[in-house]
């Protein structure tokens, strides 16, 4: 037999051998370029977003005797409104106190700049034996015109000076009084 005879004669294939061990994992490649930022999503509902918040931490003596000359208790910040957004103006005082005089009253008004929008609260005491102490929490909903508005809380009294109470808080002390404006 010649070498040529071996090349032309094929025999049966032998069994497959065992799989060898895995090789070492190669190093990590270079990071790709970051893709473009996606589109901005739709604006969410307005909800109760706070537009203004002002608090006071000291009592205000109410000495004015008419609404036109009312004592300023809290003045908010100037805020621009769009003319279509309804708002809630919330006012709180831990204690509105009348004088201990017969028919003593403290009347709390909501103002927009130099315009008296009306009475938010009335605190009165008719018997004159002691001052009347009452908490105040009042809300007024409205849609301001498209302009900048500065809301304030003012008060006046009838007989004897009153007090629009506020404090810094703490053990057995009044909390701050505040004016808060939110989207309604």
Q: How confident is the prediction for the chain on average, in pLDDT?
A: 86
pLDDT in tens, 149-179: 999 999 999 989 999 999 999 999 999 999 9
Q: Which pLDDT band holds residue 2 (cuts at 50, 70, 90)? A: very low
Task: State the residue for tokens 């001052």.
Answer: 131
pTM here is 0.73
The DSSP annotation for the chain comes to: --HHHHHH---PPPPPPPPPPPPPPPPP-PPPPPPPPPPPPPPPP-TT-EEEEEEE-S-EEE---SSTTPEEEEE---EE--SS--EEEEEEEEEEE--SSTTEEEEEEEEETTEEEEEEEEEEE-S-SS--EEEEEEEEEE---SSEE-EEEEEEESSS-EEE-----STT-PPPEEEEEEE-
Higher model confidence: residue 126 or residue 103? Answer: 103
């Amino acid at each position: 037999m010649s070498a040529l005879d071996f090349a032309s004669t094929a025999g049966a294939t032998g069994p497959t051998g065992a799989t060898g061990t895995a090789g070492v994992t190669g190093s990590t490649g270079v990071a790709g370029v970051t893709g473009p930022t996606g589109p901005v999503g739709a604006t969410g509902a307005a909800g109760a977003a706070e537009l203004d918040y002002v608090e006071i931490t000291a009592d205000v003596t109410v000495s004015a005797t008419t609404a036109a000359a009312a004592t300023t208790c809290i003045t908010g910040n100037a805020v621009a409104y769009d003319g279509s957004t309804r708002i809630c103006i919330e006012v709180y005082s831990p204690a509105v106190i009348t004088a201990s005089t017969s028919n003593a009253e403290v009347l709390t008004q909501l103002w927009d700049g130099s315009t008296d929008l009306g009475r938010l609260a009335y605190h009165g005491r008719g018997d004159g034996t002691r001052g009347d102490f009452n908490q105040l929490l009042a809300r007024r909903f409205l849609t301001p015109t498209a302009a900048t508005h500065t809301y304030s809380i003012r008060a006046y009294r009838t007989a004897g000076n009153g007090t629009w109470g506020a404090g810094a808080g703490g053990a057995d002390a009044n909390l701050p009084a505040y004016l808060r404006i939110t989207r309604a």
